[in-house]
């Protein structure tokens, strides 16, 4: 018995396990070879890739956001009149379309909405909202590079007796003069969306976060 125990040789894998491992390796190698033969790789582009990546990173960083206040803000905020409004509807995300205006002072977006609209009830139940303004698509600009600004803030209903109501009404009608008759309807109300934070994206690697004070400075500028 001692001799039999001494003659036993320990092996890490059994012959069947070795065969299975060899089969797996063979399949992997075959897949790699097939991929190389079917994928069209242009050697010149491959050799030039490090230089192109270095050039891209050089132009991407640090992001140049100094152009936003004068070069982008007016074109985006002041010429686009429609925004996507995000609210919570019965605990679920809900997005709708709203025309908007801006108060001359302060980072407040003004909307005029009907009590029959779902987003109006949502704002009264939970004032936390988000507003998305997207620039008009232009030829040659990828969709991901279209300028946009996302505002996270609080929706506040502006009652008729509020001191800010005349200013908000005037700001809205200045942009939408055809909406004057809607102010005669009792179920319509003005809301001010007071920004807490903003996120501006001007294109690839051109993003900037703004505080409410930063946005107010730009709006006043």
The model's pTM: 0.64
Task: For Cα atoms 34, 36, 41, give the angle at the middle one, nearest 5 degrees.
Answer: 145
* Among the ranges given (40-49, 86-95, 133-142), the one the predictor scored with the smallest mean pLDDT: 40-49
Residue found under tokens 């060899």? 22
**Model confidence pLDDT, tens digit, residues 189-199:** 999 999 888 88
- Indicate the CATH number for domain 68-220: 2.30.110.10
Q: Please give the share of the chain, as a percent, with pLDDT higher than 70.
A: 80
| Residue-wise DSSP of 125-192 | H--EEEEEEEPPP-TT--GGGS-EEEEEEEEEEE-TTSTTHHHHHHHHHHH-GGGGGGGGSTTEEEEE
**Quick check: 113 and 131 in contact, CB under 8 A?**
no
Strand blocks (E) in 51-145: 82-89, 92-99, 101-102, 108-114, 128-134
Other CB atoms closer than 10 Å to residue 5's CB: what's the count? Answer: 7
- In the chain, domain spans: 2-60, 68-220
Q: Is the dihedral of CA 159, 212, 74, 99 positive or negative?
A: negative
């Amino acid at each position: 018995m001692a001799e039999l125990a001494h003659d036993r040789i320990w092996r890490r894998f059994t012959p069947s396990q070795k065969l299975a491992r060899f089969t797996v390796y063979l399949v992997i190698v075959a897949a790699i070879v097939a991929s190389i033969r079917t994928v069209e790789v242009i050697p010149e582009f491959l050799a030039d890739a490090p230089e192109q990546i270095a050039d891209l990173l050089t132009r991407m960083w640090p992001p140049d956001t100094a152009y936003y206040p004068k070069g982008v803000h007016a074109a985006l905020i002041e010429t686009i009149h429609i925004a996507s409004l995000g609210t919570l509807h019965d605990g679920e995300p809900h997005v709708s379309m709203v025309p908007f205006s801006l108060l001359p002072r302060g980072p407040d977006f003004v909307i005029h909405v009907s009590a029959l609209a779902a987003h109006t009830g949502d704002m009264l139940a939970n004032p936390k909202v988000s507003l998305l303004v997207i620039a008009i698509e232009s030829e040659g600009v990828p969709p991901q590079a279209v300028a946009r600004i996302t505002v996270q803030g609080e929706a506040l209903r502006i009652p008729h007796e509020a001191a800010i109501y005349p200013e908000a009404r005037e700001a809205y009608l200045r942009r939408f003069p055809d909406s004057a008759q809607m102010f005669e309807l009792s179920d319509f109300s003005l809301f001010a969306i007071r920004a807490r934070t903003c996120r501006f994206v001007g294109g690839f690697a051109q993003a900037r976060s703004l505080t409410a004070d930063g946005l107010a400075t730009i709006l006043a500028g």
